[in-house]
Chain A
Amino acid sequence: MKKILEVKDLRVHFYTYNGTVKAVDGVSFEVYEGEVLCIVGETGCGKSVTARAITKMIRSPGKIVGGRVLFNGIDILELDEDQLSSIRGKTITYVYQDPSAALDPLYTAGYHVAETVTAHSVGMRIREALRRAVEIFHEILIPDPENRVKSYPHELSGGMKQRVVIATAVANYPKLIIADEPTTALDVTIQAQILDLLKELKGRYGSSVVMITHNLGVVAEMCDRVIVMYAGKIVEKAHTERLFENPLHPYTKGLLNAVPNPYRKTMRLESIPGVVPDMINVPEGCRFRPRCPFATNACLIEPELIEAEKDHYVSCWLTSKVGQQ
């Protein structure tokens, strides 16, 4: 399969009064054509910052201090604002968590889509673009598309708003859709509909999807490959089935055991003791060490991400020792 995106050693720091927050600290991954890649992790692990850094959308006090983002061979981080504008919203698009914040209350639903279309095609009139908006609304199963394009955001329900946001995201046949917690603000029945929709659109438009989530259920449902992040670093990377079958990193194991499974009676949930570390004073060595039940002295040195089995990467001394023996 063809790689369409390659992120190499990405580092994003935030310079605050209390000190430097290393939100993303050396993250590398790749996205293949037509796949769904999930980034999971808890609050503050750097998953959203990673997603935004892909198109250089980091505002002060944040700064991308290192790394490369190769998209079809071009390093996005080297591009100027004009060149970036021609990529954002066209080849790489975003779907955010809160659809009410993503839509401008003063414009109609159709206008949002039409604007994205006209912005990236020279000479197209807004009237034409609105017709295209109706088409897209039809495709993403918004009922009564001819009238819905004229609705303002406040006239739509949360699920519908998210559909409109998705419509703007797919309007220009993107190569990559980055969905940052697209269903967190929605009810479960609507969430299931939106996930189905994303899966279907991905097939129809041939796009790849990078999905950011904290919900392991969504991962299991949607994704081909998973990246688990913890405190600004990737701790494990694998195919979805493999990760759920054979999690190697103690954090991944803990996370999987902490989710109450509706399809199984659990007597006692295994929780991970402690809390996510303060990102200004990150623990020395392995960042999960203070919460890890298997921590040893070796963990004072930072482990690297190594391939434990085919296509299954983990950064933990436990696994690398097993590998050496």
Chain B
Amino acid sequence: MNETILIVRNLRKYFPVKGIFFTKGYIKAVDGVTFTVLRGSTLALVGESGSGKSTVGRLILRLIEPDDGEILFNGMNVRKLKNTDLLEFRRRTAIVFQDPYSSLNPRMTVYNILKEPLEAHNIDVGDVEEYIVSLLERVGLGKEHLYRFPHEFSGGQRQRISIARVLALKPELIVLDEPTSSLDVSVQAQILNLLKDLQESDKLTYLFITHDLGVVRYIASMVAVMYLGKIVEIADTDSIFSDSRHPYTRMLLSSIPVPDPKVARAREKAKLTGEPPSPLNPPPGCRFHPRCPYAMDICRKEEPPVVEIEKRHIVCCHLYVRR
């Protein structure tokens, strides 16, 4: 169980902002991100929009090329992969996108959608139709859906098809980029349960990108909180919720509306101020300092170091530096 499947070190991606003649600046979407994922576990990447969480997901799968850093998948250096090795890496990893309306080709039937990955990777599964039906059954659909088009399905069903497509190649690592954000709560619960069941039966590893902390609590084993391209805290899910250390994590936790009026009205709220600054010109020092209630002088000047609070609980904050 404690085998690492993915190691990411110091990952960086700057997107240039182009002016008319020359580059005006860089958006530091991901700026030095380091984490590891254990096989069979779920790491949740949480953060607000613009925190770089989706970019991290894409960088790991090399859907966009990183500028710097190291990605090790089962010991392989992902950034150096070429040709057949890269194809093999792509078979063993997969991604499910947020919007099932745009991730399925409207002109292909479900059968063709699910057959395409098999053809791309030249995989022999014997009877293709039988295999595809078995995939559909695993995600709660059936034979009768085989020759329908995506527009005939509801949002939840489309997301099931996306998941079936991903399962076709028996991947090891799946990046789930907000897979339930566009769904209604009752359907979201169905999809989350499905993902949990699949993880158990197939020993899948998930990198779950989301902004919904309720979903995180339910599905994740580890949580990494991102703010403006950096990870500010990583810990076990239980410690994030019961013993969070970074002021931003606490702010995030206290701002989620709790579906329980007694708790919602009784709990003390951290005073919320400000908005995330632009990643184009992030503030110097700790990027959270303009919004942080505990900001000290040092936070404005120096980037906070990585502090290990306890085993598997890392926080980047000057408050926890022993002097």
Contact = CB atoms under 8 A, between A and B. Distances in A.
Interface of A: 42-43, 157, 159-160, 187-193, 195-196, 214-222, 240-241, 244, 254-266, 268-273, 275-276
Contact of A266 (B156, B218, B254): B218
> Which residue among B156, B214, B265 has the maximum number of chain A CB atoms within 10 Å of its CB?
B214
Given A258-B189, A268-B193, 14 more contacts: A189-B276, A193-B273, A196-B272, A217-B214, A217-B259, A222-B257, A244-B259, A259-B259, A260-B214, A262-B213, A262-B214, A268-B196, A270-B189, A271-B190
B77 interface: no
A268 B192 CA distance: 9
A191 B257 contact: yes
Contacts of A240: 261
B260 interface: yes
Interface string B115-127: 0000000000000
Q: How large is the interface on B (under 10, 10 to 19, 20 to 34, 35 or more residues)?
A: 35 or more
A159 B253 CA distance: 19
A275 B215 contact: no
B310 to A, nearest CB: 20
Nearest to A191: B255
Question: What 7 pairs across the A-B complex have the smallest Cβ distances?
Answer: A217-B257, A271-B189, A192-B255, A260-B214, A258-B189, A260-B218, A187-B48
Contacts of A257: 189
Contacts of B254: 192
B3 to A, nearest CB: 25
A268 B253 CA distance: 22
Contacts of A264: 217
A188 B259 contact: no
Interface of B: 48-49, 154, 156-157, 184-190, 192-193, 196, 211-219, 238, 241, 251-265, 269, 272-273, 275-276
A262 B256 contact: yes
A261 B186 contact: no
Contact of B252 (A188, A215, A263, A270): A188
Contacts of B272: 189, 192-193, 196
Nearest to A258: B189
B258 A262 contact: yes
Given A260-B192, A262-B213, A220 B257 contact: yes
A220 B48 contact: no
Contacts of B214: 217, 259-262
Contacts of A187: 48-49, 211, 276
A218 to B, nearest CB: 5
Contacts of A258: 185-186, 188-189
A187 to B, nearest CB: 4
Contacts of B258: 217, 220-221, 261-263
B281 to A, nearest CB: 14
A57 to B, nearest CB: 24
A36 B186 CA distance: 25
Contacts of B261: 220-221, 240-241, 244
A265 B240 CA distance: 12
A71 B48 CA distance: 40
B189 A188 contact: no
A241 B310 CA distance: 39
Contacts of A244: 259-262
Contacts of A260: 189, 192, 212, 214-215, 217-219
A47 to B, nearest CB: 12
A187 B248 CA distance: 14
A224 to B, nearest CB: 10
Contacts of A160: 275
B260 A263 contact: yes
Nearest to A187: B48
A221 B258 CA distance: 7
> Which residue among B184, B196, B252, B276 has the maximum number of chain A CB atoms within 10 Å of its CB?
B184
28 contacts: A160-B275, A188-B213, A188-B255, A189-B251, A189-B255, A190-B48, A191-B257, A192-B254, A196-B272, A217-B257, A220-B257, A220-B260, A221-B264, A221-B265, A240-B261, A241-B261, A241-B262, A255-B186, A258-B185, A259-B214, A259-B259, A260-B212, A261-B217, A262-B258, A263-B217, A265-B217, A269-B218, A270-B189
Nearest to A43: B184
A216 B259 contact: yes
A15 to B, nearest CB: 22
Given A189-B251, A190-B275, A192-B272, A218 B186 contact: no
B185 A263 contact: no
Nearest to A242: B261
Contacts of A189: 48, 251-252, 255, 272, 275-276
B258 to A, nearest CB: 6
A255 to B, nearest CB: 6
Given A217-B264, A261-B214, A272 B257 contact: no
B101 to A, nearest CB: 13
Contacts of A221: 257-258, 261, 264-265
B240 to A, nearest CB: 10
Contacts of B48: 187-190
A255 B190 CA distance: 12
A260 B219 CA distance: 9
B156 A263 contact: no
Contacts of A255: 185-186
A109 to B, nearest CB: 16
A216 B211 contact: no
Given A266-B218, A271-B189, A271-B190, A220 B264 contact: yes
